[in-house]
Amino acid sequence: MPIHLTKPRSDLNLASLSDATIRPLNSLIKRPRNADAGIPSADAYESLAPALELYLYKNALRSLPPVIWSLQHLTVLSLRHNELGELSPCISKLRNLVELNVAGNGLRWLPWELLHLLGDNGALRRLVALPNPFVQGLRYSGSLASGRQLRIPFNKDEMESAILKYKEDVGNQAATEDERIQSAWLLKLHQALAFRMASVTPTDATPRSFRRPVWKRHPVYIASTPVIFFSISGTPLSSNPAPSATGHQQRLIPGTMLDFSLTIPSQASHSPSLLELAARECSISPQVSELTDLLPTDAPEAVLRAVRLAKKAKEEGGRVCSVCSRSYVIPRAEWIEYWHYVPDTLTASIDELFLPFLRRTCSWKCVEGAVVEHGFLR
């Protein structure tokens, strides 16, 4: 509720105000313990942590100031209908964030670090991500291709029936490859939800219509794209383009659940390169935005790219490896992970069914850590 503070009044008597009048002040003033018993002592007052809400609706924002990520008491952040092309991984610092709205921007994926705030990992309970031009990991077919929503079964019997159906669809040799891939994704989703459903016992006294699907409040990992490795200067080592290098016209970046060959270069190491160390120093310099103009005209492209990445890292508020949590400037590997996260409802549209999360690491060696951590990309 908005509170408007005007000219202070010296004759204001809080005791004479009604509850309806004083209730808005509760966000600023907290009554001491045992306040009705008389004049409270100094140790009777309780500390009150602020709960900040920031609404930046329709401000044509293309980037966000890093100071936002230092607002530890931010509970609501609304960024809808701006011009954001990417969301900083630093959003994971907002550990008290309860609601996030990024609808109506130009986002093609969400930062993987946002997963730290979902489910039991954080306080975030409401994520509004659509509409946005998110990339998709598969081509939809059948009823989903026609725009129909997917309904998640509520009870165990319906869930088991759905799992059997998707198993049959996966093994149907007459189906197209796209149809089998879609069925495989849906099969993995339903199997994961069935496992969680089995561990939850609803209260019999709670009417069925009022039971929330608590077994859906955690994200479910589905698939990932192949890993793209980068050189020490940030150029891809593969002929396949990195997700971050694809244009907005490319809406399909296929993900797979199958084991695919992942060859990590033999010289993989956690140690940063000299160029990376120099880029880190540039990223903390107050003059980082002017460094490009100070370089000689024949400066190597690798140096120019490192300076540009240092400037971008500073604008984002810093970058942290998604595996080892160390700071970095030049990513050495990246891929997209597709996750299901629709916690409050049993229906989902194709746009929200599998959300893309971009993941980056600071070294080639950290990719091995992702393999151990999640058991995929083998």
Q: What are 159-194's pLDDT values in tens digits?
A: 999 999 999 999 999 999 999 999 999 999 999 999
What pLDDT is recorded for position 1? 29
**Domain identity same for 194 and 278:** no
Burial of 63 (0-12, 13-18, 19+ CB in 10 A): middle
Domain boundaries, position 317: 223-258+268-374
Mean pLDDT over 213-225 rounds to: 90
CATH code (residue 15): 3.80.10
Percent of the chain whose predicted confidence (pLDDT) is above 90:
60
Ordered strands of the 74-78 beta sheet: 52-55, 74-78, 99-101, 126-128
pTM of the model: 0.84
Judge whether residue 97 has pLDDT over 90: yes
Report strand pairing: 126-128 vs 110-111: unpaired
**Domain identity same for 234 and 153:** no
**Domain identity same for 3 and 129:** yes
Residue 300 lies in a domain: yes
Judge whether residue 138 has pLDDT over 80: yes
H-helix segments, the chain: 19-22, 142-145, 156-170, 177-198, 274-283, 291-294, 301-316, 350-353, 365-374
Residues 6+ apart with CB under 8 A from 120: 218
**Domain identity same for 187 and 292:** no
Q: How confident is the model at residue 118 (pLDDT cuts 50, 70, 90)?
A: very high
What pLDDT is recorded for position 147? 82
The more confident residue out of 293 and 311 is 311
Judge whether residue 18 has pLDDT over 50: no
In the predicted model, what is the mean pLDDT of the chain? 84
Judge whether residue 144 has pLDDT over 60: yes
Residue 342 lies in a domain: yes
What pLDDT is recorded for position 20? 46
**Domain identity same for 11 and 112:** yes
Identify each DSSP E strand in 67-118 by its residue range. 74-78, 99-101, 110-111
Percent of the chain whose predicted confidence (pLDDT) is above 70:
80
**Domain identity same for 235 and 300:** yes
Residue 263 lies in a domain: no
**Domain identity same for 241 and 200:** no
Task: Render pLDDT for 29-50 as a digit per residue (tens, 0 to 9).
Answer: 555 656 566 666 666 666 666 7
From 154, 188, 218, the end of a domain falls on 218
Judge whether residue 11 has pLDDT over 90: no
Residue 64 lies in a domain: yes
Judge whether residue 364 has pLDDT over 70: yes
Task: Render pLDDT for 21-30 as a digit per residue (tens, 0 to 9).
Answer: 434 444 445 5
Euclidean distance between CA atoms 103 and 270, whole angstroms: 37
Domain count, the chain: 3
**Domain identity same for 234 and 368:** yes
**Domain identity same for 153 and 89:** no
**Domain identity same for 32 and 172:** no
> b vs e for 174-203, b when ≥16 Cβ sit within 10 Å of the residue's Cβ?
ebeeebbbbbbbbbbbbebbbeebeeeeee
**Domain identity same for 242 and 115:** no
Q: Which of 52, 22, 51, 21 is nearest to 35 (CA)?
A: 22
Residues 6+ apart with CB under 8 A from 54: 68, 71, 74, 76, 77, 78
Judge whether residue 374 has pLDDT over 60: no
Mean pLDDT over 333-342 rounds to: 95
